[in-house]
Amino acid sequence: MVRKLLILFLLLAIPFSFTFSQNDVLKQAKATFKKGDVKELQKMVDKIIVDPSTKNDPDTWYVSGRVQQRKAEQQMEKAYLRKPYDTLTIYNSVLNMTQYFLRCDSLAQLETKPGKINKYRKDMQQSILADKGNLLNGGIYYYNHATEGDTVNLSKARDFFGTYVDATMSDMFALDNLLPRDSVFSQVAYYASLAAVRIGDYPSVLKYAPYAEDDATVGQYAMEFLAQAYKQNGNTTAWIETLKRAIEKHPQDDYFFANLIDYYGSQDKYDEALEFANGMLAKAPGNYYYLFVKGFLYHSMKRYNDALAYYKRSIKANPDYAEAYSNVGLVYCLQAQDFSQEAVTDIKDPRYPVDQAQLKSYYENALPYYEKARQLKPNDRTLWLNGLHRVYYNLSMGDKFNEIDALINNQ
């Protein structure tokens, strides 16, 4: 029994001994920081940032951040003196410094009285702001050096861009109103989500993509990533809401519209889809795209006359909208197809010429719309090539049919 208790005592004593030594290391690092060798200091902080007795001490992260800052400064001094220097050391040291300072600030604030600012913050703010550009530079470097499936470089890029966003949005800068003065913030958030989506890191996409939603240049792509992330996570409600929000913010991107319509169609929820379309039109009755959306919903429901009405209203609102012209032509062709199933086929039947005239009229109606789509977007053959091929054939327009037929055969 005595032997067992002694063994137990020794096991219990080990953590106390280790705790004492790591606190000692922290004190030593603080004491020797100004004159200490960076390599030796790095060895010290590598221990204290993971040890349970010191990893929740703000001093640990402050000192560790200062060591990283010094490492970057040494390389920049070499660059100033035109000596060989390591750019990646600068980038990675700034990344580590920023992450360590953010950790220090959050821990220190827990120990600070409500309404007061911790003693480290002002000093760390200045350092982060001075070196923040290298977070962007580091992210660009690693992203540009990433190949397809390169999770290492893409993960690093995500970390740099993400840390830039984290710092800007942190409590440390809450009173500084940085966002309105940062002209690249939303694009950096997009870069973070872009790197994240390429490696399937959907939690990071959900974290960073929302900051880029309203960017005039990349907002639509950020929302695509956000929609993908929600869908990947099985959050159908958030996915649908993201698609709806994106259609209103970025109506020029067909991705959202196509996915929303596919969903409503697969779930047979056209009433819900029409309610959404009506809501959009209530906000902007003359919006050509919203009119087109409602026309497409009727089109999908095979309510062809209603679809034609809204497509034509869309054209009236935007006479250069090639997609609406193409869809009008398509609907007329679909009507012709449906009518041909019930039309009289016996040429001796007195109704035959009447039905053939009616059938021909559908193609005659489709003709100018397909031709207008071609005129507006001659390089987008999906809008008019097959449609005109069908129309010219059914209207016996030989020369024009031959020209389109040649285009199809030479694709």
Per-residue model confidence as pLDDT tens digits over 116-158: 999 999 999 999 999 999 999 999 999 999 999 899 999 999 9
For residue 89, give every residue at least 6 positions away whose Cβ sits within 8 Å of its Cβ, in sequence order, or none.
Answer: 71, 72, 75
Reported as a pLDDT band with limits 50, 70 and 90, residue 179 is: confident
Average pLDDT, the chain: 88
Residue 96 and residue 102 in contact, taking contact as beta carbons nearer than 8 Å: no
Domain 236-319 adopts which CATH fold? Answer: 1.25.40
Q: Is the pLDDT of residue 3 over 60?
A: no
Which residues, other chains included, contact 33 with Cβ-Cβ below 8 Å and sequence gap of 6+?
41, 63, 66, 67
* Gap between the Cα atoms of 204 and 226, Å rounded: 10
Block residue for tokens 């390089």: 379
Q: Is the pLDDT of residue 335 over 80?
A: yes
Q: Is the pLDDT of residue 275 over 80?
A: yes
Q: Is the pLDDT of residue 17 over 60?
A: no
pLDDT, position 23? 56
Domain range summary for the chain, segments of one domain joined by +: 22-105+122-131, 132-233, 236-319, 320-411
Q: What is the pTM of this model?
A: 0.75
CB 387 within 8 A of CB 366: yes
pLDDT value of residue 54: 87
What is the rounded CA–CA span in Å between residue 274 and residue 297? 7
Q: What is the mean pLDDT of residues 247-265?
A: 84
